[in-house]
Amino acid sequence: MTVAQWEKRRLAEGPNSWREHKHPGPARRLTAEQRKRLRKLLLEGARAHGYETDLWTLKRMAELIQNEFGVQYTESGAWRLLRDMGFSAQVPLPRALEPDQRYIRQWVREEGPKIQTRARRTGATILFLDESCQQSFSNVRRTWAPAGSRPEMRDRQGNRLKLNLISAVTPDGALFFDLHEESIDGMRVLWFLEQLLEEVVGRLMVI
């Protein structure tokens, strides 16, 4: 059957009919203006449209298109649409909502140099100390975002299943830590400071 179609095309179009023909494909189901609006909606994040997380899945994408434009897409159709719009599947970068970025920049610009000068003058080792924990954050999977632009997944800290950690690190990257199932209280901080005094030679400047 295929050979018969080739022969039919050769008779109708001549000896160059073997060349690949361009296939226009189906017409676009969303207009340029609708695609522009869809891009804006996607950049708002899935949470802005009633979902529990900001992850864009193909299923959510198809639902959004149906709700906003009344056009029905399958998940594979949504995948092709996203690729055509310059989006790709990426793993978001988790970032907490609480940090004050303005204060952090000010500290790095003003306070940090003062502390370094004082440490050099007194011969002290600087140690950045803090408590942290391994905890059950929401599962970070792939989401769709503009290609080359890794999205951030913002999340609030809270009481979750966790293992508490107190640690200190020097500017050169030397790391000291201790693990606790209980919360880090004042007594456990003192125990950790005593360990640091035993392990680090000379004066300590703990931040």
Reading the block at residue 147, the tokens are 């290609």
SS (H, E, C) 59-127: HHHHHHHHHHHCCCCCHHHHHHHHHHCCEEEECCEEEECCCCHHHHHHHHHHHHHHHHHHHHHHCEEEE
Instruction: Give residue-wise pLDDT tens across range 73-106.
Output: 999 999 999 989 998 888 776 666 667 888 989 9
How open is the CA angle 82-64-96, to the nearest 5 degrees?
80
The answer to whether residues 37 and 31 touch, using CB atoms and an 8 Å cutoff, is no
The answer to whether residues 60 and 50 touch, using CB atoms and an 8 Å cutoff, is no
Instruction: Give residue-wise pLDDT tens across range 37-54.
Output: 999 999 898 889 998 888
pTM of the entire predicted model: 0.45
Instruction: Give residue-wise pLDDT tens across range 161-170.
Output: 678 899 999 9
Per-residue pLDDT for 36 more than 90? yes
Instruction: Give residue-wise pLDDT tens across range 144-154.
Output: 678 777 666 66
Q: pLDDT averaged over the chain?
A: 84
pLDDT of residue 137: 55
